[in-house]
Chain A
């Protein structure tokens, strides 16, 4: 399998704080990879550096054999890096359909003149994604009138509508109930079935362990393990630094520092 994403020696500082410290890893085409670590380990910062919302202090991000380290977020999105956000921030002005339309690239345009062209009335891709995620019935409702579980679905639908080669999911399971988590897990596996490459941040361990092909463990900005879920679970360094001895699969709270 080809490495789709190559992160090399990536470092990001905030003032004097090093949030990500010399992180190196790869994600191959078709893989579902989990990025786990305690709060404050630098997971979201790492995500932001991959998606282009942050510039790394040092190191490179290569996507499909192209160095994208200096590209802005929208340009990476157009190359095929889609992502969701951890916090759902619905505002009052968009319906579910419009939100997914944005994701489908309807709002993206090449030039000022083409931006003034009328947007298509109906977008087949949007309809398909709405159907896939069971959102067709609520398509014309404002996002902020939906329950949290559905809002998450909308967020994933938006990212998926981009048909990204690499999908970054930032804590898709946070705040979901167990049945909702099971549904999510099914859905992520279905994504893999369709050949989508996924990199996800997760706190719910059993979800991560059961869903991912591979787990990368980030502690204090450094990659301390990168292996199959099984081997990661038994990695002593991981257990010591992060998982805790007694409850290796329980939900996690504060990092052990």
Chain B
């Protein structure tokens, strides 16, 4: 039963990071590698806020805010000037930005190279559903993720902004000639996706009691696997792929153990799914 809780929590964190990433891919057609840096910045902001206030929710807010600002800065400073260049150019810029952010955060006057501890308490009581017991932080993570993913889904399905995103995903020029302001729509996407990454960074940092300058790397490459698995740009796909990856990872670690390191599993799942369903899990591309 610990395992089930573990699967759900891992799914949640993956989904938070991947949902932002997949919508950003949708509107911009850029593999946003620097999302990993945005994630790391969120963790750093949470740490600073926690140290000065001790509050869980304030730290969460700080993480989301800092990540949102970082995401916007990357969009305006990096991708927007490169919108019309070949897709490999923003990709390279993104990789560069990620490395730069990580290196910068490692400087001692910022986060420094050492992992730091973040023992915040959300105050949400630890629930127990029959056999299934959750710790307080597990419950918090699951609750916030459900809110976030449903929120994003509704945003896309029901709001003007969501329609604008889908129109941009379809055809950027067409969207613009229908009165969609590309700039603000894409910026809003970065704002929301980055804030989710910041939330994920804070929550995972509390769950593992570790804030690290290099925290973004592993989780982000898994998020990329998830985005590809779920079908590039698809939010429900990303959520489902998060569940698949988390389940396979946790169960394999628990029952197969040492055969291969946990992080390699992501790639095996990716390869397996791409071989069977090249469009991703929820690709509904009708030829």
Given A98-B163, A115-B188, A116-B155, A103 and B178 contact (CB-CB distance below 8 Å): yes
- Chain A residues contacting B164 (CB-CB under 8 Å) are 102, 107-109, 115
The answer, yes or no, to whether B284 is at the interface (CB within 8 Å) is yes
The answer, yes or no, to whether A158 is at the interface (CB within 8 Å) is yes
Q: A102, B173: Cβ atoms under 8 Å?
A: no
Q: A108, B179: Cβ atoms under 8 Å?
A: yes
The answer, yes or no, to whether B170 is at the interface (CB within 8 Å) is yes
The answer, yes or no, to whether B166 is at the interface (CB within 8 Å) is yes
Return the chain B residue nearest A115 by Cβ: B161
Given A94-B166, A142-B286, A106 and B176 contact (CB-CB distance below 8 Å): no
The answer, yes or no, to whether B135 is at the interface (CB within 8 Å) is no
The answer, yes or no, to whether A93 is at the interface (CB within 8 Å) is yes
**Cα distance, A73 to B149, chains bound together (Å):** 32
Q: Closest CB-CB distance, A54 to chain B, in whole Å?
A: 10
**Cα distance, A234 to B256, chains bound together (Å):** 83
Per-residue CB proximity of A76-114 to B under 8 Å, as 1/0? 011001110100011111100011011101111100101
Q: B180, A102: Cβ atoms under 8 Å?
A: yes
**Cα distance, A144 to B171, chains bound together (Å):** 13
Per-residue CB proximity of B155-180 to A under 8 Å, as 1/0? 10011111110110111011111111
Q: A102, B286: Cβ atoms under 8 Å?
A: no
Q: A77, B179: Cβ atoms under 8 Å?
A: yes
The answer, yes or no, to whether B285 is at the interface (CB within 8 Å) is yes
Point out the residue from A94, A114, A158 that lies within 8 Å of B160, measured CB to CB. A114
**Cα distance, A75 to B183, chains bound together (Å):** 12
Q: B163, A119: Cβ atoms under 8 Å?
A: yes
Return the chain B residue nearest A158 by Cβ: B178
Q: Closest CB-CB distance, B242 to chain A, in whole Å?
A: 20
Return the chain A residue nearest B162 by Cβ: A119
- Chain A contacts with B in 18-73, Cβ cutoff 8 A: 51-53, 72-73
- Chain A residues contacting B176 (CB-CB under 8 Å) are 52-53, 72-74, 77
Q: B286, A145: Cβ atoms under 8 Å?
A: yes
Q: Closest CB-CB distance, A186 to chain B, in whole Å?
A: 24
Point out the residue from A53, A94, A109, A115 that lies within 8 Å of B177, measured CB to CB. A53
The answer, yes or no, to whether A162 is at the interface (CB within 8 Å) is yes
The answer, yes or no, to whether B244 is at the interface (CB within 8 Å) is no
Q: Closest CB-CB distance, B236 to chain A, in whole Å?
A: 12
**Cα distance, A58 to B285, chains bound together (Å):** 43
Given A74-B181, A93-B169, A115-B164, A85 and B174 contact (CB-CB distance below 8 Å): yes
Residues of A within 8 A of B (CB-CB), count: 42
**Cα distance, A114 to B164, chains bound together (Å):** 12
**Cα distance, A106 to B182, chains bound together (Å):** 14
Q: Closest CB-CB distance, B189 to chain A, in whole Å?
A: 11
Point out the residue from B170, B171, B179, B182 that lies within 8 Å of A105, measured CB to CB. B179
**Cα distance, A102 to B181, chains bound together (Å):** 12
- Chain B contacts with A in 212-251, Cβ cutoff 8 A: 233
Return the chain A residue nearest B179 by Cβ: A108
The answer, yes or no, to whether A118 is at the interface (CB within 8 Å) is yes
Point out the residue from A89, A109, A162 that lies within 8 Å of B161, measured CB to CB. A109
The answer, yes or no, to whether B114 is at the interface (CB within 8 Å) is no
Return the chain A residue nearest B174 by Cβ: A85
Q: Closest CB-CB distance, A74 to chain B, in whole Å?
A: 5
The answer, yes or no, to whether A117 is at the interface (CB within 8 Å) is yes
**Cα distance, A117 to B179, chains bound together (Å):** 17
Q: B174, A108: Cβ atoms under 8 Å?
A: no
Q: Closest CB-CB distance, A53 to chain B, in whole Å?
A: 6
Residue in B162, B178, B286 whose Cβ sees the most chain A Cβ within 10 Å: B178
- Chain B residues contacting A75 (CB-CB under 8 Å) are 181
Point out the residue from A81, A89, A114, A159 that lies within 8 Å of B171, measured CB to CB. A89
A-B CB proximity, top 7 nearest: A108-B179, A115-B161, A73-B176, A107-B164, A91-B170, A77-B179, A107-B163
Residue numbers of A with Cβ under 8 A of B are: 51-53, 72-75, 77-78, 81-83, 85, 89-94, 98-99, 101-103, 105-109, 112, 114-119, 142, 144-145, 158-159, 162
Residue numbers of B with Cβ under 8 A of A are: 155, 158-164, 166-167, 169-171, 173-185, 188, 233, 284-286
Q: What are 25 pairs between A and B in contact, CB < 8 Å?
A: A52-B176, A53-B176, A72-B176, A72-B181, A77-B176, A77-B177, A85-B177, A92-B286, A99-B167, A101-B163, A102-B163, A102-B166, A107-B164, A107-B167, A107-B180, A109-B164, A112-B161, A115-B188, A116-B160, A119-B158, A119-B159, A142-B286, A145-B286, A159-B178, A162-B178
